[in-house]
Amino acid sequence: MSWSLDGRPLGAILVSRLRYLGDVAMSTVVLDALRRGDPGLRLGYLCESAAAPLLAGDPRLQRLHVLARGGREAAARPVAAGDGRGGRSTAAVIADLRRARYDLSVDLFANPRSAVLLRLAGARARIGGGRGWRRRLATHPVDVPPAARDPEFRAAAPGGLGELLGRLLPLTHGPSGLPFRDWYLREYPRGLPPRLHAAPSPLAAAALASLGAGAGRPYLLLAPGATWPAKAWPRASWDELRVRLAGADPRPVVELSAPGDGPGSGAWPDGSPGGRLPPLGLADALAVVAGADAVVAVDGGIAHAAVACGRPTLALFGPTDPAIWFPYEGFGPYRVLCTRPACHPCDRHVCPESEFVCLPGLSPATVAAELASLGGRGAGR
């Protein structure tokens, strides 16, 4: 037992980030830090069913606890680390967590649901955050220090990565005797990027093969799907980018569709290499991302997943702050394009058409030129 809290050794730790694909992908830095500090640690993760395929079969985890979103899915059975399907009811998940007997739970979300869940999960120590009554449910509420107070830690754990890793500041690494901050700076002086383990997908391989990509045929991947309208690059810009890439690069250009995205799947109508994939489940989409030579995506889960799979990634940002939500540029061929108008950042989900200038102001020519500078396979970490 290498980690301790208030002098008490920790043999089993539960990490929780309930939802949002990009945040779950980013949170894997916490798993790597904990596992690197104690290879024998019993490590579990709690999330909702929508994000579970990102961590299904992850070798860092002994257990993946999957909660049905809103409790609507059937409480059929426990979900082992090798199975990311479905989810269990709130009562069943709480019972499962209590049986697992975690020494510590680390809440990376701290919304009302996660705060209550981890209070009921039975761990004797709970690291959390949030405000008001949520904060009182944690035995160790943590306020992550701002960069001005600890610039050295923030330099090695920039942006959102620092918000996540900062939750571990109360821990001490037993073998070295160092508090977590000092241990982390010793082990990762240049920082730690997120990391996902994508499993092979026969369905994804067949879909790529139908477009002349994959199976040794490198491809460029476009991922236009946006969670909110204010994070969407205009459809016409994606189409122009694809035409530009087809005229300058021999590799097929493949587009990853999201449910409800644009026109149907299939080869490009102009006959250029590649095409649009049909909507895929998250595990299959992750396999497509992991096999790409390079990925262009808007601010969202696919951009984070591409970085976590080590793929050269170009992220197109609109209203949100890349310094917080894409803190990866120091780790490899991961770059962000953001026009930053006077109203930036605004964090709006929807922006009136007359005011929506950030992403529409980003030209396909600029994106194509930046993508060409990223390189291809082998350029990742």
Which among 333, 331, 303, 282 is positioned nearest to 47, based on CA atoms? 282
Residue 259: the pLDDT is 58
What pLDDT is recorded for position 344? 87
Q: What pLDDT is stored for residue 260 in this prediction?
A: 60
Q: Would you state the pLDDT for residue 376? A: 53
Contact assessment for residue 18 and residue 50, using Cβ atoms and an 8 Å cutoff = no
Domain ranges of the chain: 3-187, 202-374
Average predicted confidence (pLDDT) for the chain? 90
Taking residues 222-232, report their average pLDDT. Answer: 92
What tens digit of pLDDT does each residue of 350-377 get? 888 778 889 999 999 999 999 999 875 4
The CATH number of the domain covering residues in 3-187: 3.40.50.2000
pLDDT digits (tens, 9 = 90+) for 144-174: 877 778 999 999 999 999 999 999 999 999 9
What's the rounded mean pLDDT across residues 9-34? Answer: 97
Closest to 157 (Cα-Cα) out of 195, 120, 185? 185
CA 335 to the chain's CA centroid = 16
Please, are residues 188 and 156 in contact by the beta-carbon 8 Å criterion?
yes
The share of the chain scoring above pLDDT 70, in percent, equals 92
Name the CATH code of domain 202-374 (choices 3.40.50.2000, 3.40.50.300, 3.40.1130.10, 3.40.190.170): 3.40.50.2000
pLDDT score, position 83: 40
Query: In 163-276, which ranges are E strands?
Result: 172-173, 178-179, 220-223, 253-255, 266-267, 274-276
**293 has a pLDDT exceeding 90:** yes
Q: Which residue has the tokens 């990762």?
A: 188
* pLDDT band per the 50, 70, 90 thresholds, residue 81: very low
- Is residue 231 over pLDDT 80? yes
CA distance 358 to 319: 7
Residue 261 is predicted with a pLDDT of 61
Query: What per-residue confidence (pLDDT) applies to 203?
Result: 96
Name which residue leads in pLDDT, 184 or 257.
Answer: 184
CB-CB contact of 195 with 308 (8 Å): yes
| Residue 232: DSSP 8-state | P
Residue 247 pLDDT > 60: yes
**Against a cut of 0.95, is the pTM above it?**
no
pLDDT given for residue 148 in this prediction: 74
pLDDT at position 238 over 50 = yes
Domains 3-187 and 202-374 share a fold: yes
- Identify the band that residue 84 occupies on the pLDDT scale cut at 50, 70 and 90: very low
Q: What is the pLDDT of residues 36-79, one digit of tens each?
A: 999 999 999 999 999 999 999 999 999 999 999 743 333 323 33
Query: What confidence category does residue 116 fall into, taking pLDDT thresholds of 50, 70 and 90?
Result: very high
CA triplet 61, 257, 237: central angle to 5 degrees? 125
The three-state secondary structure class of 5 is strand
Average pLDDT over residues 294-311: 96
262 compared with 176, residue with greater pLDDT: 176
